[in-house]
């Protein structure tokens, strides 16, 4: 039979685990973690990307930092944040997977957001890797240039979505193209595939994003050096 002090210790431990749960109990904070999975970002940049005020974004980041999920460093008057480790992204992946399996609302909302997604054939990370080894595919990274520079799938060509139409002539017409972006709920690659198909090219979207590729431990290019947190 466990002693009362032992029970209290166990409860205290679970209370500490619950700090992580409380930090994740916000859609905005999960979105911020998704942005940070691509690269380090300043508070101002995260505020702009998430549609929050700088003060509100800073508050969310402080909650994540207190829970040990993000780290920060100062550069002049600006504070930059990054994920505290690969395990943080793995935690977000697990939450995403559980949500997809357990919550029908997620599939419904994704379908409402992009009704034509089912018509855009997707391939898995494993299948992309196989085709890359065969040399039978052109990999296209349609994220912003700064995200590509910080890390990308080896050999991927970067054409941000906003620049795709004017750069279309530089892409081979016969080669199969696989476009990828930030992850399964980023729709940059959907728009890229639709535009490529309209131009007559054979194009597919990657089912996941660069952070998912990196999480598998596969080779990446463009990763910057380590930074010292505040």
Q: For residue range 205-224, list pLDDT tens digits in order.
A: 999 999 999 999 999 999 75
Please state, in angstroms and as integers, the Cα–Cα distance from residue 158 to each residue in 36, 125, 155, 179, 214, following that order.
19, 18, 10, 10, 17
Full-model pTM = 0.88
What does the pLDDT average to over 107-120? 66
Q: Can you say whether residue 213 is alpha, beta or left, with left for phi > 0 and alpha for psi between -120 and 50 degrees?
A: alpha
Please give the Cα distance from 175 to 184 (Å, whole number).
Answer: 24
Angle 169-174-176 from CA coordinates, rounded to 5°? 100
Active site positions, annotated: 181
| pLDDT at 7 (0 to 100) | 79
Regarding beta strands 70-75 and 137-141, do their DSSP bridges make them parallel or antiparallel, or are they unpaired?
Answer: unpaired
Q: What are the structural domains of the chain?
A: 4-88 (1.10.10.10), 116-215 (3.40.250.10)
Q: For residue range 55-85, list pLDDT tens digits in order.
A: 999 999 999 999 999 999 999 999 999 999 9
């Amino acid at each position: 039979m466990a002693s009362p002090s032992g029970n209290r210790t166990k409860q205290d431990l679970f209370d500490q685990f619950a700090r992580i749960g409380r930090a994740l109990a916000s859609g905005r904070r999960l979105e911020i973690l998704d942005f940070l999975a691509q690269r380090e970002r300043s508070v101002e940049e995260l505020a702009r990307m998430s549609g929050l005020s700088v003060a509100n974004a800073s508050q969310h980041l402080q909650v994540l930092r207190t829970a040990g999920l993000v780290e920060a460093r100062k550069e002049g008057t600006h504070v930059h944040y990054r994920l505290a480790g690969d395990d943080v992204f793995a935690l977000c992946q697990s939450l995403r997977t559980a949500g997809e399996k357990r919550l029908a609302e997620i599939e419904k909302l994704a379908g409402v957001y992009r009704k034509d997604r089912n018509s855009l054939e997707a391939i898995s990370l494993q299948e992309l890797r196989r085709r890359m080894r065969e040399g039978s595919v052109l990999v296209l990274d349609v994220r912003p240039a700064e995200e590509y520079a910080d890390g990308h799938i080896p050999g991927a060509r970067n054409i941000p979505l906003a620049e795709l139409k004017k750069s279309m002539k530089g892409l081979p017409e016969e080669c199969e193209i696989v476009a990828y972006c930030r992850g399964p709920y980023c729709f940059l690659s959907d728009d890229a595939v639709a535009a490529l198909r309209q131009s007559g090219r054979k194009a597919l979207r990657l089912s996941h994003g660069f952070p998912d590729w990196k999480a598998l431990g596969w080779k990446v290019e463009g990763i910057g050096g380590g930074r010292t947190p505040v």
